[in-house]
Amino acid sequence: MPDPAPPSPMTEIARLVEEVTKSGKGLAEDLLMKLVKEIAKLFSVKTDEIAVLQLSPDAGVLHFVYPMKLRVIGTLPMTAANSLAVRTARDKRPEMINNFPAHKHPTIFEAVNLDESGQERQPIQKIMSAPLLLESKSVGVIQISRKGKAPATAGADFSIRDLTTLMTTASMLAKCFKPLVKSNE
């Protein structure tokens, strides 16, 4: 009898989220890395094309949870102009941009080389952003991007189906974050 097929990335994400919530210890680094790998599979992107940010308890800044290199240096004040992550958290709605370089946005985090293989850093060409919502309150943001020297080399455009899948993923992932925000109506 053949081996059963491995679980789909969405099934594995749901299992990992359940593991995090049952543990009661929050999102430990090992589980975060497993979740990111499954999310990367789900969207056919590299792990350095995923960002997860958490809103601070006072709702004043977004902190990077992932990528790890941005945890120490990566915060975005909720007053930041032109930040897709800030807009996503504030407006509590997803967004998809398939020509990201044409949009004014902070590029400081794009300057950090996240690729461990030593390859030259690539700018974000295409991006999707979805809020992490708990009880209709924003607790963070997840972003999926496609990087490359030009839009044509970054891969396929994101579709409405991709954005819908990201919204489903975000609703599951949000359960990993404790309701930190006091008031973010």
Bridge partners of residue 146, in order along the sequence:
126
The tens digit of pLDDT for each residue in 23-60 reads 877 788 889 999 999 999 999 999 999 999 999 999 99
User: Closest Cα partner for 53 from 124, 115, 163, 132?
Assistant: 132
pLDDT of residue 104: 65
**What average pLDDT score do residues 98-117 get?**
62
- For the chain, the C-alpha Rg in angstroms (whole number) is 16
Can you tell me whether residue 94 is helix, strand or coil?
Answer: coil
> What six digits make up the tokens of 24?
């009661």
Q: Map out the domains of the chain as residue ranges.
A: 45-176
**pLDDT greater at residue 172 or residue 73:** 172
- Show the DSSP H helices in the chain as ranges: 9-23, 29-43, 69-73, 84-91, 160-173
Each residue's pLDDT tens digit, 58-83: 999 999 999 888 887 778 899 987 88
Tokens 């990993």 identify what position?
A: 176
Any bridge partners for residue 128, and if so which? 96, 144
Evaluate the CA torsion angle 124, 164, 55, 58 in order and state its sign. Answer: positive
In a 10 Å sphere around its CB, with 0-12 CB exposed, 13-18 middle and 19+ buried, how is residue 11 labelled? Answer: exposed
pTM metric for this prediction: 0.86
Q: How confident is the model at residue 117 (pLDDT cuts 50, 70, 90)?
A: low
CATH of domain 45-176: 3.30.450.40
Find the farthest-apart pair of alpha carbons in the chain and give their distance in angstroms, rounded. Answer: 58
